[in-house]
Amino acid sequence: MVFKRRDRRSMWTTLREALWPRGGWTRAARYVQHRLNRLPDPPERIARGIFAGVLTTFTPFYGLHFVTAAVIAWVMRGNILAALLSTFFGNPLTYVPITVVSLQTGYWLLGLGEVIHEHGTVGYKFAKAGEDLWQNFRALFTQTEPEWSGLTIFFDEVFFPWLVGGIIPGIISGLICYYLSVPLIRAYQNRRKGVLKAKLAALKKKKKQADDGQAAD
């Protein structure tokens, strides 16, 4: 096939680059910034998309962040591609603080307090929910009894608090990115328009000189 990779990457290489891309996260961030700046839309529309993408990273819908960001951007009449690119705000370097802030805010808003620690750590609840999912999948094809206790605890003490708690820090972070993005994108677009006008003027001048030279001959 024409577009098939010549050097097939191993599973470990793919996983490693997902955690740490080639060139590092700084280079990846600059690439995203470059793509956002070059989007053909007004700065406010692009910034609304950025808001949607950043807000989405504070939700527990992992695996569905692209869909969630696109829906929020569509509702807000923001740039959907900007929303998809801005989900980059959630990456292996930021997932931990985002999760901690969202969960702690959710626990505070819901008044769960110390009750939340009765069933173990967050990691343990993830593991128990995974075990229940696997057992319930097996129950579809075998005589294994379904198990819902781990999933119930996970929903009550992780997913729902995360969903509720991520709203406030997500909106705050999204607004900060929105108000920072608008002037930066506008300045980039104006500078780019200036460069294009200068190139067009230079081409017209060159053409005029060529035409004058031919007329003189």
Domain contains 204: no
Does the pLDDT of residue 172 top 90, yes or no?
yes
Does the pLDDT value for residue 196 go beyond 90?
no
15 and 62 fall within a common domain: yes
| Domain-embedded: residue 157 | yes
Q: Dihedral of CA 117/120/125/126: which sign?
A: positive
Region 173-186: mean pLDDT is 93
**Cα–Cα distance, 101 to 95 (Å, whole number):** 10
Q: Please state, for a pLDDT cut of 70, what percent of the chain lies above it.
A: 74
Q: How far is CA 179 from the centre of its chain?
A: 18
| Displacement of CA 77 from its chain's centroid (Å) | 17
Residues 21 and 76 in one domain: yes
Q: How far apart are CA 26 and CA 33, in angstroms?
A: 11
- Enumerate residues 6+ apart whose C-beta is below 8 A from 187: none
In a domain, 202, yes or no: no
User: How far is 179 from 26, CA to CA, in rounded Å?
Assistant: 22
pLDDT at 7: 57
pLDDT-derived band at 177, boundaries 50, 70, 90:
very high
Is the per-residue pLDDT at 166 higher than 90?
Answer: yes
Instruction: Provide the domain limits for residue 153.
Output: 95-164
Query: Do 61 and 103 sit in the same domain of this protein?
Result: no
- Whether 14 and 86 share a structural domain: yes
User: Average pLDDT, stretch 144-165?
Assistant: 91
Percent of the chain with pLDDT over 90: 40
Residue-averaged pLDDT of the chain = 81
Residue 195 predicted with pLDDT over 90: no
Q: How many domains does the chain have?
A: 2
Q: State pLDDT tens for residues 4-54.
A: 555 565 545 544 454 445 555 455 556 666 666 667 788 999 999 999 999
Which of 55, 72, 91 lies at the terminal end of a domain, its last residue?
A: 91
What's this model's pTM, rounded to 2 decimal places? 0.74
In a domain, 146, yes or no: yes
pLDDT for position 100: 92
Q: Does 126 lie in the same domain as 69?
A: no
pLDDT digits (tens, 9 = 90+) for 119-142: 788 888 989 999 999 989 888 888
Confirm whether 21 is domain-assigned.
Answer: yes
Q: What pLDDT is attached to residue 51?
A: 96
The reply to whether 1 falls in a domain is no
The residue that leads in pLDDT, 75 or 29, is: 75
